[in-house]
């Protein structure tokens, strides 16, 4: 039986662990500490937690100032507002200025569905990916989230970390490797390559099983780092299978699908199909309803893989 866990649980655990190990870790939040689970860090380290109110631009600017003083700030807010309203500050005060700030977008993807359509970010990865020198990490589950938080701290430079709110299936384990910029091969295959990011790894692995029942051998790559993308792993797999499908809980514009398309065009062109949202805004509903509505399930992924194979 598959267990499910909230990614924000892993985020909170790793953040508290870092707080005990390093006194330069500071946390800022946009009056969402209870929802983001940063209240747990606040309770452990009240002198290193700052509630900045619903003021995303101010959060980022303050975090940049802390970084200039040698601190390692984690700036937390809902992903759509932090990357949207705070974009200029992230771009100039953090990235352009070379500040070691960790931008943490919560309530990301369809996990924000119950908050309403305006709160549902399907463009945040694209916005952050476009900023020079920004590293973009999208973990698959709670366990990988813990590793990502620790890796983000160790990484010297700006990082965008995407954190989902609701429970998702646990796919990775403590033994699953994690290195920024390095894909993980979860399944070997010869007919088509399925490349996922974030919590879509679970549905992608299910799609590979559906394809196996049809006699199709699917390779599965998990791309927890969307930027820098592991272009070598993508090209190597494309040479082997001759067709690629990307899977993301995000717009196919400027997200994982775009990053893989750019890589294939430059290194090894093969038929590519992209599963994700298609240039649309989010909707209100439940996470499960939106996953179904946007076609982010194993069956549509498998069907798209067959299309890619046919295009060889």
Point out the residues that are catalytic: 56
Greatest Cα pair distance in the chain: 59
d(CA 242, CA 47): 54
CA angle 183, 110, 243 (to 5 degrees): 40
Let me know if 216 is exposed, middle or buried by CB neighbors in 10 A (0-12, 13-18, 19+): middle
CB atoms within 10 A of CB 26: 22
Integer-rounded Cα radius of gyration of the chain: 19
Q: What is the DSSP string of 166-180?
A: S-EE----TTS---T
Contact 221, 82 (CB under 8 A): no
Residue closest to 272 by CA, chosen among 238, 229, 296, 226: 238
Contact 201, 252 (CB under 8 A): no
Measured in degrees and rounded to the nearest 5, phi and psi for residue 51 equal -90, 110
6 Cβ contact list (under 8 Å, min separation 6):
142, 164, 165, 166, 167, 168
């Amino acid at each position: 039986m598959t267990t499910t866990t909230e990614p924000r649980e892993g985020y909170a655990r790793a953040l508290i662990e870092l707080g005990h190990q390093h006194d330069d870790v500071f946390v800022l939040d946009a009056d969402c500490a209870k929802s983001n689970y940063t209240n747990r860090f606040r309770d452990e380290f009240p002198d290193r937690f700052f509630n900045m109110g619903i003021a995303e631009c101010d959060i980022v600017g303050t975090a940049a100032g802390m970084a200039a003083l040698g601190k390692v700030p984690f700036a937390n807010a809902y992903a759509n507002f932090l990357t949207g309203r705070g974009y200029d500050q992230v771009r100039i005060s953090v990235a352009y200025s070379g500040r070691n700030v960790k931008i943490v977008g919560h309530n990301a993807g369809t996990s924000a569905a119950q908050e309403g359509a305006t709160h549902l970010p399907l463009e945040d990865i694209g916005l952050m990916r476009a900023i020079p020198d920004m590293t973009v990490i999208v973990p698959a589950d709670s366990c990988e989230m813990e590793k990502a938080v620790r890796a983000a701290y160790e990484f010297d430079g700006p990082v965008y970390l995407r954190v989902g709110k609701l429970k998702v299936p646990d796919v990775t384990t403590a033994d699953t490797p994690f290195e920024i910029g390095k894909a993980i091969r979860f399944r070997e295959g010869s007919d088509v390559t399925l490349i996922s990011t974030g919590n879509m790894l679970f549905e992608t692995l299910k799609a590979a099983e559906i394809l196996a029942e049809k006699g199709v051998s699917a390779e599965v790559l998990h791309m927890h780092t969307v930027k820098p993308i592991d272009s070598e792993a993508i090209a190597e797999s494309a040479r082997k299978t001759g067709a690629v499908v990307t899977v993301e809980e995000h717009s196919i514009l400027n997200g994982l699908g775009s990053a893989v398309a750019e890589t294939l065009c430059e290194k090894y062109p093969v038929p590519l199909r992209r599963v994700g949202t298609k240039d649309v805004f989010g909707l209100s509903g439940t996470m499960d309803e939106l996953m179904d509505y946007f076609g982010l399930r194993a069956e549509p992924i498998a069907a798209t893989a067959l299309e890619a194979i046919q295009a060889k």
